[in-house]
């Protein structure tokens, strides 16, 4: 093999790995949390003034995440090389200019290309896409050098399995809580600690003073401004950000209690209870219902029963929502609900749990457990004392996540290995 051919072969191999791994990982982490990706798409729809398409955001999130996953797997396995490489190229031709606009206009701080699993800046996203675009062009030109893992006799079976796996995985995660939690509000999270940041790593500002002398203005720092020189006239003082520091993992946790007015009965703000929730040494249940009008009602009875249980045992129970006071009042009368309502930011509530409604259990500001509405425990499942429940203790989710990842990998790899065994056993001719 000539030196030129070796360089081409190496370039194709590297491009295949870079594109395949990036697309597979990006599609996988989005499929882990389709609702999170859906919310990100809605952010873009708001910027483009296309909110009428909100109902299509979740199907689009599932479709895009699965398509990205399938393109990545197709590149790695060499499935349908022509259409897979063209698909990747079209993908990058569309998203590279889009991410350039996002980097320049900065409509959202995080483009969401890797979900919440791995957050990079908008400019880093654009540079990444430039590399992927170049690699995609190379793969289209030299796709015949990509050695397929499966022969034409079994390639369609492998491709069909990958499609079913991708959609099945994404749909499962849209139906229940994500199998992996990349959010700041995951089980075991210490909210007060995550709201803090080391002062040494915070934003760095400088204060400058503007003075005038002989009709000319000059800027001075705090160290050299002419405070005692009467020939200079003070004009203005400015504080500038010179270095952006590390942001806390949780910036927006704030809860305001709502109480009915004694005369009108209308719900009115009754004070901030954020610290009350975060410092409660007992147990606190937070029912998360970011939009009462869109909330699933099938298991509402479980939440009502749990609120009564909490009241009997002396635990706090709040229903956090971003709905207006009038909507809360109408909804409460319609469904005969007697929750203690509190108001919070919609984005915060959507981030806290991917369920409407969902439930969090806190103690001293630490998240002990989370449930979607289908899994909220019934009264029969609750012990006389909450301390006796397994979910009422801090859980280390790392081991569980490793087991879950191992199971998912096996569920994906084992069928492909079986298909490959069949391929080698009954169809041994090599195709390149």
pLDDT of res. 428: 58
Whether residue 91 has pLDDT greater than 70: yes
pLDDT of res. 185: 93
pLDDT of res. 215: 82
Q: How confident is the model at residue 432 (pLDDT cuts 50, 70, 90)?
A: very low
Residue 397 lies in a domain: no
Alpha helices in 33-151 (DSSP H): 34-47, 57-77, 81-105, 122-141
CATH number for the domain spanning 306: value is 3.40.30.10
Q: Which of 70-84, 263-277, 321-335, 384-398 has the highest mean pLDDT?
A: 70-84
Nearest Cα residue to 115 out of 214, 35, 189, 215: 35
3-state SS, residue 232 = coil
Average pLDDT over residues 211-234: 84
Tell whether 46 and 88 lie within a shared domain.
yes
8 A C-beta contact, residue 108 and residue 47: yes
8 A C-beta contact, residue 211 and residue 146: no
239 or 345, greater pLDDT:
345
Tell whether 136 and 277 lie within a shared domain.
no
Q: Which of 1-5, 55-59, 108-112, 198-202 has the highest mean pLDDT?
A: 55-59
Whether residue 85 has pLDDT greater than 90: yes
Tell whether 126 and 207 lie within a shared domain.
no
What percentage of the chain has pLDDT greater than the value 70? 97
Tell whether 140 and 69 lie within a shared domain.
yes
Q: How confident is the model at residue 162 (pLDDT cuts 50, 70, 90)?
A: very high
What is the Cβ-side half-sphere exposure of residue 298, based on CA atoms within 13 angstroms?
A: 9
395 or 357, greater pLDDT:
357
Whether residue 430 has pLDDT greater than 70: no
Tell whether 381 and 261 lie within a shared domain.
yes
Q: How confident is the model at residue 429 (pLDDT cuts 50, 70, 90)?
A: low
Query: Domain range holding 376?
Result: 256-392
Query: Is the whole-model pTM more than 0.75?
Result: yes
Q: What's the distance, CA 325 to chain centroid?
A: 28
Tell whether 146 and 121 lie within a shared domain.
yes
Average pLDDT over residues 227-239: 83
Average pLDDT over residues 144-160: 92
Tell whether 233 and 263 lie within a shared domain.
no
User: Two tokens at 383?
Assistant: 């012990």
Residue 400 lies in a domain: no
Residue 326 lies in a domain: yes
Tell whether 213 and 291 lie within a shared domain.
no
Tell whether 230 and 287 lie within a shared domain.
no
Residue 402 lies in a domain: no
Q: What's the distance, CA 317 to chain centroid?
A: 26
Choice among 40-44, 90-94, 183-187, 226-230 with the minimum mean pLDDT: 226-230
Distance CA 400, CA 126 (A): 34
Bridge partners (DSSP) listed for residue 219: 210
The mean pLDDT value of the chain amounts to 89
Residue 251 lies in a domain: no
Distance CA 112, CA 26 (A): 9
Residue 73 lies in a domain: yes
Tell whether 218 and 297 lie within a shared domain.
no
The Cα-based distances of 19 to 61, 76, 100, 391 in angstroms read 20, 8, 19, 41
The sheet with strand 366-372 has its strands ordered as 267-272, 256-260, 341-343, 316-321, 283-288, 358-363, 366-372
Number of domains in the chain: 3
Tell whether 134 and 97 lie within a shared domain.
yes
Residue 183 lies in a domain: no
Average pLDDT over residues 392-398: 82
Tell whether 146 and 215 lie within a shared domain.
no
Q: How many residues does the chain have?
A: 432
Residue 42 lies in a domain: yes
8 A C-beta contact, residue 286 and residue 360: yes
Average pLDDT over residues 341-368: 94
pLDDT of res. 218: 87
Choice among 334-338, 387-391, 392-396 with the minimum mean pLDDT: 392-396
Whether residue 135 has pLDDT greater than 90: yes
Distance CA 413, CA 360 (A): 35
Choice among 64-73, 175-184, 245-254, 257-266 with the minimum mean pLDDT: 257-266
Distance CA 96, CA 41 (A): 17
Cα angle: 311, vertex 353, 386; to 5 degrees: 30
């Amino acid at each position: 093999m000539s030196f030129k051919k070796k360089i081409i072969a190496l370039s194709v191999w590297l491009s295949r790995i870079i594109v395949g791994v990036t697309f597979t990982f990006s599609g996988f982490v989005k499929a882990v949390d389709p609702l999170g990706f859906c919310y990100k798409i809605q952010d873009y729809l708001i910027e483009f003034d296309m909110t009428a398409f909100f109902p299509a955001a979740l199907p689009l999130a599932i479709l895009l995440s699965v398509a990205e996953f399938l393109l990545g797997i197709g590149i790695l396995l060499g499935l349908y090389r022509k259409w897979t490489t063209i698909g990747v190229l079209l993908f990058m031709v569309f998203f590279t200019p889009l991410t350039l606009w996002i980097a320049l206009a900065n409509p959202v701080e995080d483009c969401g290309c890797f979900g919440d699993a791995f957050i990079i800046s908008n400019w880093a996203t654009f540079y990444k896409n430039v590399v992927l675009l170049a690699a995609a062009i190379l793969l289209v030109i030299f796709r015949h050098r990509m050695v397929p893992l499966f022969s034409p006799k079994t390639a369609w079976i492998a491709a069909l399995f990958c499609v079913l796996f991708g959609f099945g995985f994404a749909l499962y995660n849209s139906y229940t809580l994500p199998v992996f939690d990349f959010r700041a509000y995951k089980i075991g999270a210490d909210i007060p600690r995550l709201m803090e940041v080391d002062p040494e790593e915070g934003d760095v500002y400088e204060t400058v003073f503007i003075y005038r002398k002989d009709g000319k203005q000059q800027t001075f720092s705090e160290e050299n401004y002419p405070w005692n020189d009467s020939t200079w006239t003070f004009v203005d003082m400015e504080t500038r950000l010179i270095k952006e520091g590390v942001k806390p993992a949780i910036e927006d946790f704030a809860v305001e209690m709502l109480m009915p007015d004694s005369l009108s009965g209308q719900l009115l703000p009754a004070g901030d209870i954020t610290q009350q929730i975060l410092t409660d040494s007992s147990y606190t249940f937070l029912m998360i219902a970011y939009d009462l009008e869109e909330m699933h009602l099938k298991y509402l009875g479980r939440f009502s029963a749990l609120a009564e249980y909490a009241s009997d045992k002396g635990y706090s129970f709040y229903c956090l929502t971003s709905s207006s006071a009038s909507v809360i009042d109408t909804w409460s009368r319609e469904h005969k609900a007697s929750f203690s309502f509190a108001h919070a930011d919609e984005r915060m509530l959507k981030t806290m749990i991917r369920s409407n409604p969902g439930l969090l259990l806190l103690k001293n500001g630490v998240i002990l457990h989370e449930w979607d509405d289908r899994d909220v425990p019934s009264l029969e499942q609750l012990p006389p004392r909450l301390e006796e429940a397994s979910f009422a203790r801090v859980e280390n989710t790392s081991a569980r996540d490793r087991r879950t990842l191992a199971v998912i990998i096996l569920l994906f790899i084992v069928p492909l290995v079986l298909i490959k065994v069949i391929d080698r056993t009954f169809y041994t001719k090599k195709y390149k």
